[in-house]
Structure 1
Amino acid sequence: TKDIGLAAAEGYDSIELSKRYTTVTMGPSQGRFSQLASIRALGAHTGLTVAEVGMTTARPPWVSVPMGVLAGRPFEPAKRSAIHGRQREQNAHVKWAGDWRRAYDYGDPEGEALNVHERVGVIDVSTLGKLLVRGPEAGAFLDRLYPNRIADLKPGRIRYGVLTSDAGRITDDGTICRIDDDSFYVTTTSSGAAGVEQWFSWWLADWRMQAHLTDLTQGVGAVNLAGPRARDVMAKLTGLDCSNEAFAYLAARRAPIAGVPCLILRIGFTGELGYEIHFPSAQGQDLWDAIFDAGREFGVRPFGLEPQRILRLQKMHVLIGQDTDSESTPFSAAMPWIVKLDKEEDFIGRWALARASEQPADFALVGFTIPNGEVPTEGAAIVVDGDTVAGQVTSSRYSRQLGRVIGMAWVPTELAADGASIQIADNGRRLQGAVQTSPFFDPEGKVLRS
């Protein structure tokens, strides 16, 4: 108000003149916030009433205009795989998954999951991050990034790995396939693809190792063909010997499928016999169509993200970012076996993980079952001693294959034992669960390796 008082003293006693002297009511607000206050202030200095002072003339825009309106139609960038159109034609329910638009299900998620167990299903996993690391020091480079051993992987073999921060916290996971002596094909989570590529690039620049990084995420598509009849479908699509003796679990092969050059990984996030097929994105629809043509007699059906979540939960496969948080280490997340502290090569997070191995965590990630069929909300609290919150549910589903409710949760370490009873507080409900530390489905992995 000091400037308005000076304006009045100088003779600028109308609001329009005062506006030009002080710039009050100018700018983006056009007086919407300052007009009444400035009129009253000028009236106090001139002895005029509010009505006598009057109002300033507002200039357009009179209301706020979103930047998107000025730039064009509202637009939210979205990534879609090369097979997205085919999935729409198959009546996929599409939802957001990070910055991707993905098939959530095809109308019957539990039925789609059951079909993978009984026949064969196919899911589009093109959203996975895909990095090619090549060079004479590629193996040594990956050994510095992962807490388990990578450099001793034989060509044509695959290994699961988690990435950790300097503090030993889990940041991402995926598979590493050694293609040849100097080439590794690395997959990451869909949401973590950009972050992992940036992480690899940063360390590669800092360490100046003889390795080269190429991001293949957009140029390479992928599908997972899974189920007891998956091998029968493969036999109709490729001349590659897919018998268990010739193509074992955690092996990789390069071969044409329906005429499309592919990298085939014998892995399975679903818990069933599975082939993860990677191919040039431009040929994705052709390969998708060929799989359905070949698999029709075996009952092939597409399945989406929700059925996959049921299937992975049955195997207690961890979803990074859902079952883990910024404080989770491999030790607390039931993966102590993946940390090789005796590895000759130093690696990121080694010091912190060595300390974590010496000090038992306060909480542990476990599985649980609920006998009465009620599915707890993900995020529901684990309570002890009545109402003391001591953990939370991270994943929960009903499994038609198992006929019961299953889930994963963080619980106090003293409760991380098979058969231990836990209580879940969920929106006014109290549910009783029993802890299970081994996979709910095929705990010995016989189906995966069949």
Structure 2
Amino acid sequence: MDQKFPTQARAVIIGGGIIGCSTAYHLARLGWEVVLLERHRLTSGSTWHAAGLVGQLRSSANITQLLGESVKLYRTLEAETGLATGWKMNGGLRLACTEERWIEVKRQATTARSFGLEMHLLSPAEARKLWPLMDVADVRGAAFLPTDGQASPSDITQSLARGARMAGAKIFEAVEVTGIELDKGRVAAVLTAQGRIACEVVVNCAGQWAREVGAMAGVNVPLVSVQHQYMITERIAGVTPDLPTLRDPDRLTYYKEEVGGLVMGGYEPNPIPWGVDGLPRNFEFSLLQPDFDHFTPTMELALGRVPALADAGVKQLINGPESFTPDGNFILGEAPEVEGFFVGAGFNAFGIASGGGAGKVLAEWVAGGAAPYDLWPVDIRRFGRNHEDIGWVRARTLQAYARHYTPAYPAEEFTAGRPLRRSPLYGALRAQGAVFGEKLGWERPNWFAAAGEAAEDKYTYEKPNWYGAVAREHRAVRETAGIFDQTSFAKFLLEGRDAEAALSWICANDVAKPPGSLTYTQMLNARGGIECDLTVARLGAETFYITTGTGFATHDFHWIRRNIPQGMAARLTDITSQNAVFSLMGPHAREILGPLTTQDISNEAFPFGRAARLSVAGAPVLALRVTYVGELGWELHVPVEYALTLYEALMAEGARHGLANAGYRAIETLRLEKFYRAWGADIGPDHTPLEAGLGWSVKLRRDTPFLGRAALEAQKRAGVNKQLACFTLDDPGIILLGRETIFRDGRRAGWLSSGGFGHTVGQPIGIGYVRDAGGVDAAFMQAGTYELEVAGARVPAQLHLTPLYDAGMARIKA
């Protein structure tokens, strides 16, 4: 039946692939008036040629949950809509052919157990029983996930589209979007060749064209297109409909059954970009020319695993471009640049696996005004200024694609597109052996190699080559002093007549203090979850200086700006690039800083939790007495042109006090001993301050209203069902990385959010939530006996509810 083209809708979704149709399905079922626009026909972009494997396990519990939502939907969708989906829950098999890969797979099995996902470790012979066609001579072991499966991409998308229509959504094909109309920074309408559609919300699900659609609204969507090839064979004897999907990462290949034959593809180490000079307008149900030369190495690897491929007939070699992102994760959420503009794109060749769940959470995000749970790994606000350059994005994305099946080593760094953003100290630190990591384009010293040590990372699942160097830096901070270059910190100014009132609403802690005060605070969502974790220094009656983590620059700026109450005179400015930051930390910090300034920095004159302007070695410095490593010290914020002078003066004065350069990996070991939380790991939107042991930093005893207060008050009355705790192991040789399963009295009770080693306490340390539906308090936690599962083995663990080091803060307040 013909539909009249609409002139208005509550939400307009752009793109008729699986993500757009899934979002339309879920948003319409939430009661929204939805219009979906597709430039050509449904599935005609990259959906129709997707391979269709559906795996669920990821390194994030919530992304694993999201993928599980896809499986849950695909199991019932055909019965609901009457359209076939091709869904088969035939399980997924993953091989390990080296000792390092086997360690990775065993750790993945532990992660699966942590997240409640069924996963079994198999011997080579057991794996071959599930997949009889493969040669297992080089296989060390395998993992099997029985709830994984496969689907027909076009069929499942058409089924979602029918379900969306059944719920009231209107879908229009052959409609080209020509522009996005904005009004005062907010979506107002979508412009098309057929007319204007006024709307509250736009959801950009345009796949490879999402970057172009985003640009229409001034929104950056950092993705590029990469050629991806797979082969479809004729029938092969022994290939049965119930054959599990197979991933063979050491041979860079994957397989699934199709009509009695096999689909075989892979992720080559030398990927080929597509659309470098722009994407074609008309690419409907189109493919690129097969590149047999480029596919030959993949084929040779596959023949070693599945010898029957040598005699199999080849139906087709598919070469279909797909959108990929710089970190291998997809992109969801409201764009920080424009209110009401949402993105669901960049699915890195697992759009079918993600489609059902991604559409669900994106619809709930649109309808609820916030993500339904913590989706930070895929949140569009994880990107920053460096992602605005398409050349940089492409270089990083090609490296991410090439690493798709390489071992995901702990602390592994990307190398493409570097160096880009550099502190004024970059050259000086490099000359002193700094080994840099990168975050949001910033070069940051991870550790320092001494004379005779190779200044490079060598990755492993065992103790890494930087272990000794980090221990050396750790001890310097504890025993003498260390200096950290933290110039990459995000730094904002909030100014204006209503700055105090605005921050008092947004911050959970009390920032309405006199100038010179420094406040550690969280910013909460309406559920009481922690959206930001930062420090606020009051510089004047109408001026606040905000410092937060490097990777949270876009996210935190957006959160603060959007939550300033309407009508308040408060202006937020990002001044990250104006100031360098050095953290001088350790028992000798005052002895080093004191001679370089004429101002009094004694504990009486400059106590912990204060901010003051100092002149240090001729440089104007904003000094914040705060710590993330658990020692006496200051963050020294200095204009970039003075940075090198200040650093040289500190190093010269510090030479006789044992001052040492230290990096971010030492910060991690130091903060674990102090039980300091890390946003994005230990705390986030799914965790409240009460659950995280941060109730002391919330102004519940005052009458001041703040965002999230009602939720915290309700939780305080009802009690919590999870509580953050610290764990140690007696065996110093065990490596904790995070996501290890917590067992309490023999029952699964959570997982570690962080893991590492404490060089002062001499033990592996983990941080994680102990969970129980019946309620959790200190008495409950202390009454239990604990174990951690590490790579499949259970190890006795000791519970700690207070910091392992200097619990009374005597050293910090010295």
- Report how far residue 63 of structure 1 moved: 10
Equivalent residues of 2:608, 2:626 under 8 A apart: yes
Q: Does 1:423 align with 2:681?
A: no
* Alignment-derived partner of residue 251 in structure 1: 610
Of the three residues 472, 475, 486, the one matched with 1:111 is 472
Equivalent residues of 2:525, 2:707 under 8 A apart: yes
Of the three residues 90, 110, 127, the one matched with 2:432 is 90
Q: Which amino acid aligns with 1:332?
A: E
Equivalent residues of 2:475, 2:759 under 8 A apart: yes
Unmatched 5+ stretches in structure 1: 1-23, 34-61
Of the three residues 330, 335, 355, the one matched with 2:714 is 355
* Alignment-derived partner of residue 196 in structure 1: 556
Of the three residues 807, 811, 814, the one matched with 1:443 is 807
Q: Which amino acid aligns with 2:422?
A: R
* Alignment-derived partner of residue 148 in structure 1: 509
* Alignment-derived partner of residue 585 in structure 2: 226
Of the three residues 306, 314, 317, the one matched with 2:673 is 314
Q: What is the distance in 2 between the residues matched to 1:115 and 1:71?
A: 41
Of the three residues 561, 570, 591, the one matched with 1:211 is 570
- Report how far residue 268 of structure 1 moved: 1.2
Counterparts of 1:118-157 in structure 2 under 5 Å?
118-151=479-512, 153-157=513-517
Q: Which amino acid aligns with 1:200?
A: I
- Report how far residue 262 of structure 1 moved: 0.6
The Cα offsets for residues 258-281 of structure 1, whole Å up to 9 and x where unpaired, read as: 111110111111111101100112
- Report how far residue 383 of structure 1 moved: 2.3
**Secondary structure, aligned partner of 2:576:** coil
The Cα offsets for residues 19-74 of structure 1, whole Å up to 9 and x where unpaired, read as: xxxxx9999635649xxxxxxxxxxxxxxxxxxxxxxxxxxxx9979999x96993
Q: Which amino acid aligns with 2:425?
A: I
Q: Which amino acid aligns with 1:82?
A: P
Change (3 A) 1:329 1:99: farther
* Alignment-derived partner of residue 287 in structure 2: 29
**Secondary structure, aligned partner of 1:191:** helix
Counterparts of 1:203-352 in structure 2 under 5 Å?
203-204=563-564, 206-352=565-711
Number of residues of Structure 1 aligned to a counterpart in Structure 2: 395
Of the three residues 798, 801, 805, the one matched with 1:434 is 798
- Report how far residue 325 of structure 1 moved: 4.1
**Secondary structure, aligned partner of 1:218:** helix
Q: Does 1:74 align with 2:395?
A: yes
- Report how far residue 235 of structure 1 moved: 1.9
Unmatched 5+ stretches in structure 2: 1-281, 292-318, 327-389, 397-416, 450-468
**Secondary structure, aligned partner of 1:362:** strand
Of the three residues 374, 377, 382, the one matched with 2:742 is 382
Equivalent residues of 1:418, 1:434 under 8 A apart: no
Q: What is the distance in 1 between the residues matched to 2:615 and 2:480?
A: 24
The Cα offsets for residues 4-31 of structure 1, whole Å up to 9 and x where unpaired, read as: xxxxxxxxxxxxxxxxxxxx99996356
The structure whose Rg is larger is 1
Q: What is the distance in 1 between the residues matched to 2:283 and 2:675?
A: 61
* Alignment-derived partner of residue 38 in structure 1: none
Q: What is the distance in 1 between the residues matched to 2:567 and 2:600?
A: 41
Of the three residues 129, 149, 170, the one matched with 2:530 is 170
Q: Which amino acid aligns with 1:279?
A: V
Q: What is the distance in 2 between the residues matched to 1:197 and 1:425?
A: 38
Of the three residues 490, 505, 518, the one matched with 1:158 is 518
Of the three residues 372, 397, 405, the one matched with 2:731 is 372
Equivalent residues of 2:744, 2:784 under 8 A apart: no
**Secondary structure, aligned partner of 2:537:** strand
Q: Which amino acid aligns with 2:561?
A: S
* Alignment-derived partner of residue 6 in structure 1: none
Q: Which amino acid aligns with 1:218?
A: S
Identity of aligned residues (%): 28
The Cα offsets for residues 64-91 of structure 1, whole Å up to 9 and x where unpaired, read as: 79999x9699364743323222221211
* Alignment-derived partner of residue 21 in structure 1: none
Change (3 A) 1:325 1:158: closer
Q: Which amino acid aligns with 1:239?
A: T
Q: Which runs of 4+ in 1 moved over 4 A?
A: 24-28, 30-33, 62-68, 70-73
Tell me how large the CA RMSD over aligned residues is: 2.8
Q: What is the distance in 2 between the residues matched to 1:188 and 1:417?
A: 32
**Secondary structure, aligned partner of 2:795:** strand
- Higher RCO structure, 1 or 2 (CA under 8 Å, sep 6+): 1
Equivalent residues of 2:753, 2:766 under 8 A apart: yes
**Secondary structure, aligned partner of 1:29:** coil
- Report how far residue 123 of structure 1 moved: 0.1
Q: Which amino acid aligns with 2:498?
A: E
- Report how far residue 243 of structure 1 moved: 1.3
Q: What is the distance in 1 between the residues matched to 2:710 and 2:701?
A: 12
* Alignment-derived partner of residue 100 in structure 1: 442
Q: What is the distance in 2 between the residues matched to 1:171 and 1:25?
A: 40
Change (3 A) 1:162 1:66: closer
